[in-house]
């Protein structure tokens, strides 16, 4: 088991989302970054985005843009408060850029 998985399980024991305050979950691969808004009460994904089609050369800039787009679409669905789940990753680099982009877009953590 990876250390990140252990950290993620520890975080998930404390962090849970509901319809009023869904969980913003981040997955970071070597190439892309993914973000989802999840209602844990119903077990449904409310919104999902990634950086497949963004034309950013810099991965950090692409992550920031994903955060902004996620915030924009969440506000269209009348979601303005979320719980941030960094999924065991360090709050640094692309994960931090995604979170900052979501804050810049209008989401409250």
Ordered by where they begin, the domains of the chain are: 3-104 (3.30.420.100)
Which is it for the CA torsion 34, 39, 79, 13, positive or negative?
Answer: negative
Mean pLDDT for the stretch of residues 83-104 = 96
Q: Does 20 score more than 80 pLDDT?
A: yes
pLDDT class for 50, splitting at 50, 70, 90? very high
Confidence of residue 94 (pLDDT cuts 50, 70, 90): very high
- Say if residue 96's pLDDT is above 80: yes
* Cα separations in angstroms, 14 against 8, 17, 41, 87: 10, 10, 14, 12
φ, ψ at 95 (rounded to 5°): -65, -45
What is the pLDDT, as a whole number, of residue 18?
Answer: 86
pLDDT value of residue 66: 97
């Amino acid at each position: 088991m990876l250390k990140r998985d252990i950290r993620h399980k520890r975080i998930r024991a404390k962090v849970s989302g509901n319809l009023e305050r869904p969980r913003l979950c981040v997955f970071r691969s070597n190439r892309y970054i993914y973000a989802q808004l999840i209602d844990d009460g119903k077990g449904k994904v409310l919104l999902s985005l990634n950086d497949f089609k963004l034309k950013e050369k810099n991965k950090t800039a692409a992550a920031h843009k994903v955060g902004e787009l996620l915030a924009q679409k969440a506000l269209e669905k009348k979601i303005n408060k979320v719980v941030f789940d960094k999924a065991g990753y360090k709050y640094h680099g692309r994960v931090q850029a995604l979170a900052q982009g979501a804050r810049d877009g209008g989401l409250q953590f």
